[in-house]
Chain A
Amino acid sequence: MSANVELENLNIRFGDFHAVKDVNLNIRDGEFFSFLGPSGCGKTTILRAVSGFNDPTEGAIYIGGENMLGSGPNERPTALVFQSLALFPLMSVADNISFGLKVRGVGKVQRRKKADELLEMIALSDQGDKLPSELSGGQRQRVAIARALAVEPKVLLLDEPLSALDLKLREHMRTELRRIQQRVGITFIYITHDQGEALTMSDRIAVMSHGVMQQVGSAQDIYDNPATSFVASFVGENNPINGTVIAAEEGYVSLKTDFGELRGRNERGLQPGDRATLFIRPQNLCLSERGDFDNCIQTTVNDQEFEGEFEHLYLAGDSRNLVVSLINDGAIPQFSNGSPISVGFHSDRAVVLPAGEMAYE
Chain B
Amino acid sequence: MNNLLLPIASLIGAGLVILGLMFYRRSQHATGSGFGHFLRRNGVFVSSYLILSLLGWIFFMIILPQLYMVDFSFSHNLPPSKIGGPEDVYTTQNYEYLLFGSPGSEDAFNWLHLKVFLRTILAAVVVTIIDLALCYPVAYYMAQSASSGKLRMMALCLLLPFWVNEILRAFAFRILFGSGGVFNNVLMGMGLIDQPVDFIRADVGLYAGLSYAYLLLMIFPLYNAIESLDHSQIEAAKDLGCPWWRVHFEVVMPFAKPGIASGCTMVFMLSCGALAAPQILGGPSSLWFTQIIYQWFNTGGNWPLGAAYALVLLVVCIIFVMAVMRLFKVSFGEIIK
Task: Give the interface of A toward B (CB within 8 A).
Answer: 51-53, 72-74, 78-80, 82-84, 86-90, 99-100, 102-104, 147-148, 151
Contact = CB atoms under 8 A, between A and B. Distances in A.
Interface residues of B, number: 17
Interface stretch (B12-20, B196-204, B229-237): B229-237
A291 to B, nearest CB: 55
Interface string B224-260: 0000001011011111111100100011001100000
Contacts, number: 57
B230 A84 contact: yes
A100 B240 CA distance: 5
Given A74-B243, A86-B232, 19 more contacts: A73-B235, A74-B238, A74-B239, A74-B240, A78-B239, A79-B239, A80-B236, A82-B236, A86-B233, A88-B233, A88-B236, A88-B251, A90-B254, A90-B255, A100-B240, A103-B242, A103-B246, A148-B240, A151-B240
Contacts of B233: 86, 88
A151 B240 CA distance: 7
Contacts of A90: 254-255
A133 to B, nearest CB: 13
11 contacts: A79-B240, A83-B232, A86-B233, A88-B233, A100-B240, A102-B250, A103-B246, A104-B241, A148-B239, A151-B240, A151-B241
Given A88-B251, A90-B254, A103-B246, A82 B241 contact: no
Contacts of A100: 240-241
A83 to B, nearest CB: 8
Contact of B239 (A51, A83, A89): A51
Q: Which are the 5 A-B pairs with shortest beta-carbon distances? A: A100-B240, A86-B232, A86-B236, A103-B241, A73-B238
Contact of B230 (A79, A86, A99): A86
Nearest to A72: B238
Contacts of B255: 89-90
B251 A73 contact: no
Nearest to B234: A86
A88 B243 CA distance: 17
A72 B238 CA distance: 8
Contacts of B250: 99, 102-103
Interface-central residue, B239, B242, B250, B254, by most chain A CB under 10 Å: B239
A83 B242 CA distance: 20
Contacts of B230: 84, 86
Contact of B240 (A83, A84, A147): A147
B238 A84 contact: no
Nearest to A90: B254
A79 B235 CA distance: 11
